[in-house]
Amino acid sequence: MLHQETKPPAMSWQDLICRLEGVYAAKVVLCEDGTPEEIHILASTAKSPKSLTRDIQSALMAAFGVEVDYRIISIAQIHPDMSEKDSRLCYSGIENKFIDGRGEITVFLSYGDLRIEGKSSYATRNTASQLRGVALATLDAVSKFITEKNSAYYELITSEVIEIGGRPATLVTVCDEQGQHYIGSSLIREHHDDAVVRAVMDALNRRVSRFIAE
């Protein structure tokens, strides 16, 4: 059984907020009783402060059941060109086939000229099974890429559809071999499958970037 490392609540909040679109950094200050006192955000100019504030409130409510007063959230915005750019895996496509009662999913990721394929299958033709299959195929591709330089293992804990800022989104939780959990999210724009891939990558891309740097 994996040992799960317990994070301080403020750190868990910060991890979640930093995975929202356009957020570069977050600092959460809690009172002694655990209630939020201050939330400071560094973000891009892609969204208005009002829209980003709603996303933060919705994400914290969905993940932790905590209602946050918008007045404690302060947002500083910078142009994307001023932010530090990481080397990242990119999502380049997906194939989803259901033949003879079995679904076969292939997710394609890329890093420069390198192309990586991740695969998974599912037997029950419903949305939940398909979303889980897409998440597993994405994890398979990420693991293959990391294995080129390091050994790593990721287990899918949850994959679900939630609402962030009044819009549908996918939320995934994955766990590494040390019991550390990572949360990723992505708004659903056209297809659920694309959003699941982007949510998994959102959860792991910072960690993958560290592997690349090493």
Same domain membership, residue 115 and residue 13: no
The residue among 179, 182, 185 whose CA lies nearest residue 197 is 185
Residue 113's domain comprises 90-213
d(CA 21, CA 151): 29
Name the token pair of 62.
């969905």
| Bridging pattern class, strands 181-187 and 23-30 | unpaired
pLDDT in tens, 166-208: 788 899 999 888 888 888 888 888 788 889 999 998 888 777 7
Shortest CA distance to 82 belongs to which of 28, 56, 45? 45
**What stretch of H or E contains 9?**
helix 9-17
Same domain, 31 and 130: no
My answer on whether 124 and 196 are in the same domain is yes
**78 or 83: which leads in pLDDT:** 78
Find, among 167, 153, 166, 162, the residue nearest to 196 by Cα. Answer: 162
Q: Does 61 lie in the same domain as 102?
A: no
Q: Are residues 132 and 57 in the same domain?
A: no
Q: Which of the 8 DSSP states describes residue 112?
A: T
pLDDT tens-digit map of 20-70: 888 888 888 988 888 889 999 888 777 888 899 999 999 999 998 999 999
What counts of helices (H) and strands (E) characterise the chain?
4, 9
Task: Record the tokens describing residue 149, joined without a space.
Answer: 């330089």
* Exposure string for 37-58, b = 16+ CB within 10 A, e = fewer: eebebebbeebebeebbbbbbb
Q: Which pLDDT score, from 0 to 100, does residue 138 have?
A: 94
- Does residue 110 have a pLDDT over 90? no
pTM of the model: 0.58
Give the largest CA-CA distance in the chain. 58
Question: 70: which strand partners?
Answer: none
Quote the percentage of the chain above a pLDDT of 70: 86
Residue 2 belongs to a domain: no
- Residue 118 confidence class, pLDDT cut points 50, 70, 90: very high
Q: Examine the domain organization and report whether 37 and 76 are in the same domain.
A: yes
Residues 113 and 195 in one domain: yes
Q: 194: which residues sit within 8 A by CB, 6+ positions away?
A: 91, 94, 186
Q: CA dihedral defined by 44, 83, 161, 129, rounded to 10 degrees?
A: 150
Report how far residue 76's alpha carbon sits from residue 116's, in angstroms, rounded to the nearest whole number. Answer: 37
Do 102 and 185 fall into the same domain?
yes
Query: Is the same domain home to 145 and 165?
Result: yes
pLDDT digits (tens, 9 = 90+) for 139-173: 999 888 877 555 567 889 988 888 877 788 899 99
